[in-house]
Amino acid sequence: MPRYGRGRRKGCVVEGCGNRSVESVRMQLLIEGLSKTYPGDVRALDNITLTIPTGMFGLLGPNGAGKSTLMRTIATLQDADAGSIRLGDIDVLRNKSEIRRYLGYLPQEFGVYPRTSAVALLSHLASLKGVGGNAKQRKEIVDALLFRVNLYDVRHKAVATYSGGMRQRFGIAQALLGDPKLIIVDEPTAGLDPGERNRFYNLLSEVGESVVVILSTHIVEDVKELCQNMAIIHRGQLKFNGAPSAAESSMRGQVWSRSMSKQDLKTLEGYRVLSTKLIEGRPIVRIFSDVDPGNGFDVAEPNLEDAFFFHIQ
C-alpha cells in the first residue's frame, strides 16, 4: 500500500495533492445565460442558466442536445457567444488558466501511449499539471491515486492493455490530479459491463462527496443511481432542473401503461407515447395523459425515464 503525502488539507481528494485550501473556492458552479451558436445557425446552447452545488450533478440529454458543448465550454475548451460561468470567485470564461488549476476532466474517449504504464503516464500527467513539489512527492500522489481507483496492483502494465472499466478508472485518477474542485465526466459508462459499471458508480459517488462533479450522459439510470440533482437539456434548451425524485413526482397521475400486441401499436395515434418496450416479446406502452385515456391503460408509477422522454418530445 502506498504512503500518503504529509499535511492533508481539509477537503483534499488525495492527501498531499492540494495547492490551496478548499475554503478559498466555494463549492458552487453558477452558469448564467450561456449561449452558443455554430455556423449554419445551429443553436447548441440557448440561454442556459444553472446553479450546480457540491455533489453529483447529472446532465441528461439525447445525442446532439448540447451536453458536449456545455461541458467543453465549462472545461475552457471552447468559447461561448454570451453568458457567464463562475466557480466561487473565479470567472471561468475570462480566467481559463486559473480555473484549469481546479478542473478535472474525463472526456468520453481519451488517448493513451500504447506502451506506457499507468504509473508512468500518470506521473507524466502530474508533472505537466505541476502536481507535487518534487519527484518523491509526485510519486506518493500518483501511487495514492492508483491505489484509490484500485489500479495499484497493475500500475506497471500498459494502460492500452486495460479493460474499458480499468481505463475509465485510470481516467478518474488523472482527473483527480491537483486536488480539483470541479470534475467533468462525459459519458463514462458507455460500453462497460455491469460489474465495471457498478465499480465506477461507487468511485464516482465517493469523489462527489466533496467536490462538484458534473456527469454528462444520455443513460437515465446513471443519473437515477448517482445524482442528487440533475438537468435535462434538449436542442440547446434547459427543460428541467431539480432532483430526480422531483422529476418523477411531477408526473404522478399522468403516466399510463398497457401491455398490447404488436398489431395494436397502430391504434396509438393521438396518444402522447413516452416509451415502448418489449418485455418477453410483448410491447409495454407508457403514455402521458392528464385524464384517464381509457382503452385498457392503467395509471402507472412514473419513473425518471418517463420524465426524460416527456421533456425531450
Spans of all domains in the chain:
22-242, 250-311
Distance CA 310, CA 248 (A): 11
The H or E element containing residue 133 is none
Which DSSP state fits 118? H
Q: Tell me the average pLDDT of the chain.
A: 87
Contact between residue 218 and residue 63 where contact means Cβ atoms under 8 Å apart: yes
59: pLDDT strictly greater than 70: yes
Q: What is the pLDDT of residue 24?
A: 39
Q: What is the pLDDT of residue 5?
A: 38
The fold of the 22-242 domain, in CATH, is Rossmann fold (3.40.50)
For residue range 198-255, what is the model confidence (pLDDT) as tens digits?
A: 888 888 888 888 899 999 988 898 899 889 999 999 999 999 999 999 999 999 999 9
26: pLDDT strictly greater than 90: no
307: pLDDT strictly greater than 50: yes
- Band (pLDDT 50/70/90 cuts) for residue 46 is very high
CA 295 to chain centre: 40
For residue range 138-175, what is the model confidence (pLDDT) as tens digits?
A: 999 999 999 989 999 999 999 989 988 888 889 889 99
Grid cell, residue 300, equals 402507472
- What pTM was computed for the model? 0.84
Strand 255-259 relative to strand 298-299, pairing: antiparallel
Residue 34's beta-bridge partner residues?
A: 48
Q: What is the pLDDT of residue 112?
A: 67
178: pLDDT strictly greater than 90: no
Distance CA 134, CA 136 (A): 6
Q: What is the pLDDT of residue 12?
A: 44
For residue range 82-107, what is the model confidence (pLDDT) as tens digits?
A: 999 999 889 999 999 999 889 999 88
Q: Which residue in this structure is represented by grid cell 402521458?
A: 288
Which residue would you say has higher pLDDT here, 17 or 307? 307
Which residue would you say has higher pLDDT here, 20 or 122? 122
